[in-house]
Structure 1
Amino acid sequence: MRRQFAIAGAAALMTIAAHAQEAATVVFDGDVADAAFAVENAIVGQGLVIDFVSHVGEMMTRTGADLDLGPSPVGEDAQIFVFCSATISREVMEADPMNVSHCPYGIFVAEIGGETLVGRRVYAEESMAPVNALLEGIVTEATE
Structure 2
Amino acid sequence: MKRFAVTLAALTMAAPAFAEGVTTYPTDASFEDAAFAVESAIVGRGLVVDYVSHVGAMLERTGADVGSDVKLFDAADVFLFCSAVTSRNVMEADLMNIAYCPYGIFVADKDGEVMVGYRNYPEGAMQEVQTLLDEIAKEAVGN
Q: TM bucket by the smaller chain? A: 0.7 to 0.9
Q: Does 1:120 align with 2:84?
A: no
| Amino-acid identity (%) | 53
Q: Distance in 2 between matches of 1:134 and 1:94?
A: 17
Q: TM-score normalised to the size of structure 1? A: 0.80
Q: Does 1:80 align with 2:78?
A: yes
Counterpart of 2:50?
51
Q: CA deviation at 1:23?
A: 0.5
Counterpart of 1:94?
92
Q: Aligned AA for 2:31? A: V
Counterpart of 1:37?
36
Q: Aligned AA for 2:132? A: L
The C-alpha deviation readout for 1:34-90, integer Å capped at 9, x for no partner, is 1101101100001100000000000000011333412431x2320000000000000
Cα root mean square deviation, aligned: 1.5
Which consecutive residues of structure 1, in runs of 5 or more, have no partner in the other structure? 1-20
Point out the structure with the larger helix share: 1
Contact 1:56 1:79 in 2 (8 A): yes
Q: CA deviation at 1:113?
A: 6.2
Q: In structure 2, the residue corresponding to 1:78 is in which secondary structure? A: strand
Q: Aligned AA for 1:65? A: A
Q: Distance in 1 between matches of 2:35 and 2:70?
A: 20
Q: Distance in 2 between matches of 1:70 and 1:31?
A: 25
